[in-house]
Structure 1
Amino acid sequence: MPAQPLYSDVAIVGAGPVGLFAVFECGMLRMRCQVIDPLDVIGGQCAALYPEKPIFDIPGYPRIGAGELIERLREQAAPFEPGYHLGQSVVGLERRDEGWRLTTSKGRVIQAKAVIIAAGAGAFGPNRPPLADLEHYEGRSVFYAVTQPESLRGKRVVIAGGGDSALDWSILLADIAEKVYVIHRRAKFRGAPESVARLHALAEAGKVELVVPCQLHRLEGDTAAGQLSAVVARDLDGQERRLDADTLLPFFGLSMNLGPIAEWGLALHKGQVAVDPTTCETSLPGVFAIGDIADYPRKLKLILTGFAEAASAAHAIHPLVHPDEELHWEYSTTKGVPGL
């Protein structure tokens, strides 16, 4: 028997920072939202990849951790009581007379008068190193993100990679882990110059050990329990080095694609969704895109740009949800937070 649809004013695809702010903007215009995201937690990449990483370009916050930013956005959206449907993707989008019907990978059906796609870079996942038995350790002693740094206190940690994520976590864990090894295939790192300088200073102080130029070669441990005992690296001459380790953190970037979004009939440009920059509406009437997934000439890929796009989309959606009501716009300082 088909699932009964859940009716809402707006369906938001993506629970990252821009999607969460869209809940607030829609709520300020008395529009209810349902939010769908394939991750098991809200926050998108901020929560999944770098919750401890500082962000410096959020207005009013000289410095704020990515995880803290998500918590503040969740708190800001909370008065409007959004529904969160996590751990599931939107696999179907169908036009209906009264709006759009979305079907998720878990069989949830959501009927909405408008859709906001706030899916960041689209579907994404880590680039996995080509190591035998890797899958036995993933999620138990091999991780592609660190959500609780304290869980690594006193452990022997191998970090592989040469970009910003590898550098950031090497620096942070230097004072938490018992031992930090950094494996990179080159002696030169690709991250921010300040981070590279800090990493080398930590290496000189003996707080981290650089294993360069080397690559991951083999894992050793108890595959049944998923527990590493060592990571074996190999240099350019084929010489191996065994590193006693409890945890491996491979940071080789993300593989990204639009996933099912690419099949929805949207006009695309270079792998992104083309929108009208004045409203963020896509080529499908009633479907909007905001944040990194949205594309238009001279687009700036910044979180604050996505926040502004959320406001533009919400105002463009208002007449679809309240067709007989003229929008008398007021500053939030004047009207406060309205009830729904």
Structure 2
Amino acid sequence: MSTPHRTDVAIIGAGPVGLFAVFECGMLKMRCHVIDALGEPGGQCAALYPEKPIYDIPGHPRIEAAQLIDRLVEQAEPFAPTYHLGQQVETLARQPDGRWLVGTGAGTTIDAAAVIVAAGVGAFGPNRPPLAGIEDFENRSVFYMVTRKEALRGKRVVVAGGGDSALDWSILLADVAAQVLVVHRRDKFRGAPDSVARLHALAEAGKVELVTPYQLHGLEGAGGQLSAVTVATLEGEVRRLEADVLLPFFGLSMNLGPIANWGLALDKHHIAIDQATAATSAPGIFAVGDIATYPHKLKLILTGFAEAASAAHAIYPLVHPGEVLHFEYSTTAGVPGV
């Protein structure tokens, strides 16, 4: 085992909420080490949809996911966080003095007064549609994420799914792809009402075609390149859609991975926390963002931001015992050094 890095707070997860937790801790003069299994900061925003616009970040009527991550990294920079990227946290153990020892699969160990788990949905992967031979086309003409929409310019694209991701990408690709066909097993979509309205408006304008009620049935092509996607109704009516690319958006499969073995109170695939403090069932361990749950929680990035602030304030007496926290707004205090 390597000599542990000693810090105030270890943050597990470098997604948007984990990055904002660095800022909130820094504002309270607490140093952070950040660990993430991915090779760069950003979590799902960077890995799954860097070009996807986000509309509900305060002060940003529209911001692409990658741009949001860039701004959050910049916001955290004054507090000089140490990043341990491309490493998955495997162990979490409480020490006799009450501090926590965090260990990664790469052999890195971090000794921290408190830990913030901001691991998003944990280990994640796409839900693969049960189509024969789909593996031969994956990452060549079947993609579970879009990292650069320009790569689809002029392509015939079939989007499968009825949730927000399917709707968002159908809308975004309407002016990029040569053709966008949206396959869904029902006539009604599950996405946000505004997105549903925009999709129907594009369909009426002839910019997308709604292929409903159909489900994916088969793939045609060779050498990893699609030539067509077949779809079928529940009654067995089959239709052939000429296509260059298939984007199946059926959500992510969630797996807590090693987190499930850390002895924290869980609620299904989430960590149960106290809403006021983001505290878990283990003293000194806090959870924020999508991985954390409590009654009536709204799964929004801004909710995670608020949880990060609550966690930082709850952690302060663990890092600075006996010191009274005199809360000041950032407009008054500025950005302190740590």
TM-score normalised by L of structure 2: 0.89
What letter corresponds to residue 65 of structure 1 in structure 2? E
Instruction: Look up the match of 1:268.
Output: 266
Identity of aligned residues (%): 72
For 2:228, which of 227, 230, 252 is the aligned residue?
230
Q: Does 1:181 align with 2:181?
A: yes
Give the whole-Å Cα distance in 2 for the aligned partners of 1:87 and 1:132.
Answer: 33
Give the whole-Å Cα distance in 2 for the aligned partners of 1:96 and 1:202.
Answer: 58
Structure 1 residues 63-212: aligned runs within 5 Å? 63-98=62-97, 99-212=99-212
> Given the superposition, is the C-alpha separation of residues 297 and 229 from structure 1 closer, same or farther in structure 2, using an over 3 Å criterion?
closer
Residue pair 2:157, 2:180 contacting (<8 A) in 1 also: yes
Q: For each residue in 1:208-235, what CA deviation from the matched residue of structure 2 results, as whole angstroms up to 9, or x when unmatched?
A: 2232222222223334xx3333322233
Give the whole-Å Cα distance in 1 for the aligned partners of 2:115 and 2:310.
Answer: 14
Structure 1 unpaired stretches of 5+: none
What letter corresponds to residue 206 of structure 1 in structure 2? G
For 1:282, which of 280, 283, 291 is the aligned residue?
280
Give the whole-Å Cα distance in 1 for the aligned partners of 2:184 and 2:294.
Answer: 37
Instruction: Look up the match of 1:330.
Output: 328
> Given the superposition, is the C-alpha separation of residues 3 and 219 from structure 1 closer, same or farther in structure 2, using an over 3 Å criterion?
farther
Give the whole-Å Cα distance in 1 for the aligned partners of 2:322 and 2:190.
Answer: 55
> Given the superposition, is the C-alpha separation of residues 178 and 36 from structure 1 closer, same or farther in structure 2, using an over 3 Å criterion?
same
Q: Does 1:44 align with 2:43?
A: yes
Alpha-carbon shift at residue 53 of structure 1 (Å): 4.1
Give the whole-Å Cα distance in 1 for the aligned partners of 2:214 and 2:135.
Answer: 22
Aligned to 1:103, the other structure's residue is in SS state strand
Give the whole-Å Cα distance in 1 for the aligned partners of 2:329 and 2:198.
Answer: 44
Hey, which bits of structure 1, 4+ residues long, moved more than 6 A? none
Instruction: Look up the match of 1:214.
Output: 214
What letter corresponds to residue 261 of structure 1 in structure 2? I
Give the whole-Å Cα distance in 2 for the aligned partners of 1:134 and 1:89.
Answer: 29
Instruction: Look up the match of 2:246.
Output: 248
Give the whole-Å Cα distance in 2 for the aligned partners of 1:83 and 1:142.
Answer: 36
Aligned to 2:246, the other structure's residue is in SS state strand
What letter corresponds to residue 309 of structure 1 in structure 2? E
Give the whole-Å Cα distance in 2 for the aligned partners of 1:195 and 1:45.
Answer: 21
What letter corresponds to residue 197 of structure 2 in structure 1? A
What letter corresponds to residue 125 of structure 2 in structure 1? G
Q: Does 1:303 align with 2:301?
A: yes
Q: Tell me the C-alpha RMSD between the 2 structures.
A: 2.4
Q: For each residue in 1:294-329, what CA deviation from the matched residue of structure 2 results, as whole angstroms up to 9, or x when unmatched?
A: 233454433323222212211222232233654343
Residue pair 2:11, 2:34 contacting (<8 A) in 1 also: yes
What letter corresponds to residue 288 of structure 1 in structure 2? F
> Given the superposition, is the C-alpha separation of residues 298 and 78 from structure 1 closer, same or farther in structure 2, using an over 3 Å criterion?
same
Give the whole-Å Cα distance in 1 for the aligned partners of 2:3 and 2:337.
Answer: 27
Instruction: Look up the match of 1:339.
Output: 337
Give the whole-Å Cα distance in 2 for the aligned partners of 1:188 and 1:315.
Answer: 44
Alpha-carbon shift at residue 62 of structure 1 (Å): 3.5
Alpha-carbon shift at residue 54 of structure 1 (Å): 4.0
Aligned to 2:336, the other structure's residue is in SS state coil
TM-score normalised by L of structure 1: 0.88
Residue pair 2:37, 2:86 contacting (<8 A) in 1 also: yes
Q: 297-306 or 145-154, which moves further after superposition? A: 297-306
Give the whole-Å Cα distance in 1 for the aligned partners of 2:134 and 2:36.
Answer: 26
> Given the superposition, is the C-alpha separation of residues 153 and 339 from structure 1 closer, same or farther in structure 2, using an over 3 Å criterion?
same
> Given the superposition, is the C-alpha separation of residues 326 and 128 from structure 1 closer, same or farther in structure 2, using an over 3 Å criterion?
same
Count matched residues: 337
What letter corresponds to residue 327 of structure 1 in structure 2? L
What letter corresponds to residue 73 of structure 1 in structure 2? L
Q: For each residue in 1:70-128, what CA deviation from the matched residue of structure 2 results, as whole angstroms up to 9, or x when unmatched?
A: 22212111222222333332221111235212222333322222100112333332211
Give the whole-Å Cα distance in 1 for the aligned partners of 2:166 and 2:123.
Answer: 22
What letter corresponds to residue 292 of structure 2 in structure 1? A
Alpha-carbon shift at residue 172 of structure 1 (Å): 1.1
Residue pair 2:254, 2:269 contacting (<8 A) in 1 also: no
Q: For each residue in 1:148-168, what CA deviation from the matched residue of structure 2 results, as whole angstroms up to 9, or x when unmatched?
A: 111111122111112221111
> Given the superposition, is the C-alpha separation of residues 167 and 276 from structure 1 closer, same or farther in structure 2, using an over 3 Å criterion?
closer
